[in-house]
Amino acid sequence: NLMGARLAGSHGDTQEPKTNPLVSISDEPETLYKRLSILVKGHDKAVLDSYEYFAVLAAKELGISVEKVDKPPKTIERFTLLKSVHIYKKHRVQYEMRTHYLCLELKYLTGSTAAVYLEYVQRNLPEGVAMEVKKTKIEKIPEHIQKPVWDTLPQVEETEVKS
């Protein structure tokens, strides 16, 4: 019987519309980013592949256009050490550390979108994975160089300079 049922969250129109305390509205102009370049480094390629799927999905859900997803070649750092504590120079041991990379490039973001996306993606960064972010900002040309200098200067009469 739905007639007597009262929905828990429903109120009359007398109350003010609820404002979400997490959403802030400000009058400052948004910073615009032309490109957001995220470089993710890790030892395990499978972890990076799954992180790529997650980051691309998150960007699509937020409506951010992904320019390209690049996979630069891995770097291997190798070193050779002596195998024994004392003497035995001919017997060595080799170790290597492999770093796999993943580069995500997102284009045309606003400052708040970039902040939200980066916070979400960084909070879910797996352990053992590092991230570097490069932002390319778009700014208006400053006023003093908007017009070329030779248009504004007064006409100077040419005088002969005797050396």
Nearest-angstrom CA–CA distance, 52 and 59: 11
Tell me the two tokens of residue 134: 């490069």
Q: Are 35 and 137 in contact (CB under 8 A)?
A: no
Q: What string marks each residue from 3 to 42 as x (binds another protein by CB under 8 A) or -?
A: --------------------------------------xx
50 CA to centre of own chain: 18
Provide, rounded to whole angstroms, the least separation between the CB of residue 101 and another protein: 9
Nearest-angstrom CA–CA distance, 119 and 108: 18
Using CA atoms, how far residue 143 sits from 130, 146, 149, 155, in Å, is 40, 5, 12, 22
Q: Indicate whether 130 belongs to the interface with another protein (CB under 8 A).
A: yes
Q: Indicate whether 128 belongs to the interface with another protein (CB under 8 A).
A: yes
Q: Indicate whether 82 belongs to the interface with another protein (CB under 8 A).
A: no
Q: Indicate whether 97 belongs to the interface with another protein (CB under 8 A).
A: yes
Nearer to another protein, 77 or 151 (CB): 77
Q: What string marks each residue from 50 to 69 as x (binds another protein by CB under 8 A) or -?
A: --------------------
Per DSSP, the chain holds a count of helices (H) and strands (E) of 3, 5
Residues near another protein (CB under 8 A) are 41-44, 75, 77, 91, 93, 97-99, 125-130
